[in-house]
Amino acid sequence: MHDDDLLIVGSGPYGLSVAAHAAARGLQVRVHGRLMSSWRDMPPGMLLKSEPWASDLSDPSGAYRLTAYAATRGVRAEHGVPLPVGFFTAYGEWFARHAVPAVDPRTVTAVRPRPDGGFAVTTEDGEVTGARTVALALGVMPFTDVPAVLRPLMPHLATHSSDHADLTAFAGRDVTVLGAGQAALETAALLTEFGAHARVVARSGQLVWNTVPPALRRGPWETALAPHTGLGCGWRNMLYARTPGIFRRLPDTTRERLFDTALGPAGAWWLRPRFDAVPDVRLGKAVVAAAPGGPRGDRVRLTLADTSGQGAPTTEVVTDHVIAATGFAPRLDRVDVLPEDVRAALRTVGASGAPEVSGHFESSHPGLFLAGLLTAPSYGPAMRFVYGAAHTAERLVRGVERRLGAARRPVALPGARTWPADTVGGRPAGVRARG
């Protein structure tokens, strides 16, 4: 069995960025997964919350930034102008065609360590391939977090916000959205625009809205007071964005607390006027019970408790469907591709259940590297955003090289392999676009 130097599980922004750096360093790299899958499956009409200049995938030369793709489309990626999620998805596909080897669309179902220190990787069709090192760039979908009271009602009466690629099916129905972050507020706004009766229920007593971003070019005083970062303005955000390596050195309890509280739920400034059309917003309420309701049991009866601590009585809501926009929990027990004994043996960040990673994004199992949301409890909030991909890709690939201890090889050209089952933009995923 031939072993690739690096096998990457996941072909979203982090997986593609790691692949671009690895290929440029001459490593034999293989990428698995449905290209940009979680982005591709977002509902039409959603917009990027991050600024265009903070949404670049990473390649060593910097030739394939979002602005370069926008130029090919005759579009200006401007500060303060949100881009459609579909545009960003197409950018990821373009990046893959130009900067990385071909993406194998098959899902990886198992990654098992071998006695010789390598890994046996099994795909959905049962094929087993070998790899000297593996990077898990799993994105967010394995880590969806839904309140326990709703889980018995899934998937027919309750879902997670990330389960929906199309919200138009809810037109004319009563839908309750849980949460106070961007996903909850934008989902509720879109539901309203698509003709649903949307209701928002949130534990927080008030909604937080991001302010309109100041101009990129400002006077020295304004810049000093609130510097721009890829995570928003301000010095605290600057520390999260520019120094994730320092975050990793904080005590476990501090990292856990900051992961839970930093850059908390907030809506984008451009969403606020649209959200005003949402007809029913109930703040300071928590769902404490949920059960089938209605004459035929095809609706949901929610019991809401007041979170203010003032002893208000519970209230009830009957709705057609509940969408939990309640975020993601990056814990090892959600990483099903790894055997249970391997997960149990990995070092974690305190009691969070999230894996600890080294300065090169290597887990405590030699040769097993991690990227993306799964590393946010180790490296901080930057890893919850596309912005963190550059920091990750460069350092992770260095770690792979150190682990391999191999001599430099000639640079591998993107598109060396093709996989007929997957196409991007009308051509096989491994074929370069011309021009």
Of 137, 140, 53, the C-alpha closest to 100 is 137
Q: Is residue 258 part of a domain?
A: no
Residue 336 is encoded by which pair of tokens?
Answer: 């099903």
Whole-number Å distance between alpha carbons of 300 and 196: 16
Summarize the confidence of residues 129-146 as an average pLDDT.
96
pLDDT of residue 422: 36
Tell me, what CATH number does 119's domain have? 3.50.50.60
Residue written as token pair 């020295």: 220
Confidence of residue 429 (pLDDT cuts 50, 70, 90): very low
The answer to whether residues 172 and 303 belong to one domain is yes
* pLDDT 10s digits, 60-107: 999 999 999 999 999 999 998 999 999 999 999 999 999 999 899 999
pLDDT of residue 225: 80
Residue written as token pair 């979680």: 38
Confidence of residue 430 (pLDDT cuts 50, 70, 90): very low
Summarize the confidence of residues 388-397 as an average pLDDT.
96
Summarize the confidence of residues 43-57 as an average pLDDT.
93
Confidence of residue 186 (pLDDT cuts 50, 70, 90): very high
pLDDT of residue 164: 95
| Percent share of the chain, pLDDT over 90 | 74
Cβ contact 20:137 at 8 Å: no
DSSP 338: S
Residue 200 is encoded by which pair of tokens?
Answer: 């928002």
Whole-number Å distance between alpha carbons of 41 and 34: 11
pLDDT at position 432 over 50? no
The answer to whether residues 205 and 315 belong to one domain is yes
pLDDT of residue 227: 81
Task: Dump strand ranges (E) for 184-320.
Answer: 197-202, 280-283, 285-293, 299-306, 315-319
Q: Given strand 321-324, what is the order of strands in its sheet?
A: 158-160, 321-324, 174-178, 197-202, 280-283
Instruction: Give how many domains the chain has, as a whole number.
Output: 2
Give the domain-ending residue among 324, 347, 367: 324
First to last CA, the chain: 37
Find the Cα–Cα–Cα–Cα dihedral 262, 269, 52, 27, rounded to 10°: 30
Q: Is residue 63 part of a domain?
A: yes
The answer to whether residues 395 and 283 belong to one domain is no
Whole-number Å distance between alpha carbons of 36 and 59: 16
Summarize the confidence of residues 186-197 as an average pLDDT.
97
Summarize the confidence of residues 275-283 as an average pLDDT.
96
Residue 271 is encoded by which pair of tokens?
Answer: 């969403």
The answer to whether residues 315 and 367 belong to one domain is no
Confidence of residue 1 (pLDDT cuts 50, 70, 90): low
Q: Is residue 238 part of a domain?
A: no
- 197 three-class SS: strand
The answer to whether residues 311 and 383 belong to one domain is no
The answer to whether residues 195 and 284 belong to one domain is yes
Q: Is residue 219 part of a domain?
A: no
The answer to whether residues 12 and 105 belong to one domain is yes
- Determine the structural domain holding residue 340 and report its residue range: 3-143+328-428
The answer to whether residues 132 and 197 belong to one domain is no
Summarize the confidence of residues 233-245 as an average pLDDT.
83
Q: Work out the number of other CB atoms within 10 angstroms of the CB of residue 206.
A: 9
Confidence of residue 252 (pLDDT cuts 50, 70, 90): confident
Distances (CA, A) of 76 to 25, 142, 284: 31, 34, 41
pLDDT at position 420 over 70? no
pTM of the model: 0.89
The answer to whether residues 65 and 171 belong to one domain is no
What backbone torsions phi and psi does residue 186 show, to the nearest 5 degrees?
-70, -35
Q: Is residue 192 part of a domain?
A: yes
Cβ contact 103:35 at 8 Å: yes
pLDDT at position 412 over 60? no
One-letter identity of residue 231? L
Whole-number Å distance between alpha carbons of 281 and 191: 13
Give the domain-ending residue among 282, 298, 324: 324
| Percent share of the chain, pLDDT over 70 | 93
Whole-number Å distance between alpha carbons of 91 and 58: 12
The answer to whether residues 127 and 169 belong to one domain is no
